[in-house]
């Protein structure tokens, strides 16, 4: 279906905001104009932007993927996802998945409301579980993690028609125990951010994503990042750093 190095890109966005808006760091913010150009690039170069849940099912069932398949995800559920990103997605007819911090929805003015989420859902935007309070799941007790995940799941089921069956770890942090917990809570898989592991898609409860921000405003950088080989390169670079570190430490130990 795909080579050991290649895997379908799953893009991770956060805030789609102008520079004068809320002071999100550049690492998690992208300007609407750049986001629009990226969506235009996907359309012009005939990428198949597909629903994350559907892509997930194709992969775990071993089905042949459509050419240039790609999925779009957003973390947290910021209001600017509705104001700035949603009209662009709607214009191009692209599906996307927004992972919500459910206690923030309709309470914090920086986040969308449930009415806005329901409107987006009717246009092909799916919403998923990013927990109720956005804790570091790998740093709290399993019982507290379970409560946070289940609370968010119940809220999503109450407020929306078809929540995503894929979970998203806050901060990308997880352990084997947390992975098992997510499975026990009824999720078919989970989104991570790390490039560890034998293969980018080897673990259905730690699917890798590509963080997209203003740093990808150059179309050539964006094209490379969504090529399907970017994660493989990141993994190689990480291994090189580890080897260099061990080599340096060994040399220091040999110094008289």
- Burial group, residue 242, by CB count within 10 angstroms (0-12, 13-18, 19+): exposed
- pTM of the shown model: 0.85
Query: What are 86-109's pLDDT values in tens digits?
Result: 999 999 999 999 999 999 999 999
Element at 4 (helix H, strand E): none
Identify the bridge partners of residue 76 per DSSP, sorted by sequence position: 100
d(CA 70, CA 46): 11
Cβ count within 10 A of residue 148: 21
Query: What are 122-152's pLDDT values in tens digits?
Result: 999 999 999 999 999 999 999 999 999 999 9
CATH 3.40.640.10 fits 10-229, yes or no: no
DSSP conformation letters of 140-156: S-HHHHHHHHHHHHHHH
Nearest Cα to Cα of residue 205 among 221, 186, 223, 225? 186
In sequence order, which residues have a C-beta less than 8 Å from that of residue 104 and are 6 or more positions away? 76, 77, 110, 111, 134
User: Residue written as tokens 């929805």?
Assistant: 105
How far CA 17 is from CA of 79, 142, 159, 238, in Å, comes to 10, 35, 26, 31
CB 11 within 8 A of CB 30: no
Is the pLDDT reported for residue 235 higher than 60? no
How far CA 202 is from CA of 2, 59, 60, 189, 198, in Å, comes to 12, 10, 10, 12, 7
pLDDT range class, residue 25, cuts 50, 70, 90:
low
Higher pLDDT, 234 or 47: 47
CB 111 within 8 A of CB 101: yes
Query: What are 158-209's pLDDT values in tens digits?
Result: 999 999 999 999 999 999 999 999 999 999 999 988 554 444 445 789 888 8
How far CA 25 is from CA of 14, 21, 75, 210, 244, in Å, comes to 10, 11, 14, 17, 30
E strands, 68-146, in order: 69-76, 96-100, 125-129
């Amino acid at each position: 279906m795909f080579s050991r190095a290649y895997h379908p890109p799953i893009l991770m966005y956060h805030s789609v905001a102008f520079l004068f808006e809320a002071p999100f760091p550049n690492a998690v913010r992208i300007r609407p104009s750049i986001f629009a150009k990226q969506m235009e690039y996907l359309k012009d170069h005939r990428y198949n932007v597909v629903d994350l849940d559907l892509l997930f099912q194709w992969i775990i069932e071993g089905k042949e993927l459509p050419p240039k398949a790609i999925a779009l995800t957003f973390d947290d559920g910021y209001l600017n996802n509705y104001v700035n990103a949603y009209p662009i997605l709607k214009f191009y007819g692209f599906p996307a998945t927004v992972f919500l911090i459910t206690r923030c929805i309709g309470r914090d003015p920086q986040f969308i409301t449930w009415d806005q989420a329901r409107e987006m859902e009717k246009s092909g935007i799916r919403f998923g579980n990013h927990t109720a309070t956005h804790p570091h799941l790998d740093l709290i007790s399993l019982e507290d993690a379970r409560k946070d995940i289940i609370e968010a799941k119940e809220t999503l089921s109450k407020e929306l028609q078809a929540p995503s069956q894929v979970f998203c770890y806050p901060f990308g942090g997880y352990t084997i125990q947390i992975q098992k917990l997510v499975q026990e809570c009824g999720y078919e898989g989970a989104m991570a951010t790390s490039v560890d592991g034998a293969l980018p898609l080897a673990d259905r409860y730690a699917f890798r994503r590509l963080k997209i921000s203003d740093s990808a405003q150059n179309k050539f950088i964006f094209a490379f990042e969504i090529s399907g080989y970017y994660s493989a390169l990141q993994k190689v670079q990480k291994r090189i750093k580890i080897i260099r570190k061990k080599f340096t430490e060994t040399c220091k130990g040999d110094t008289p």
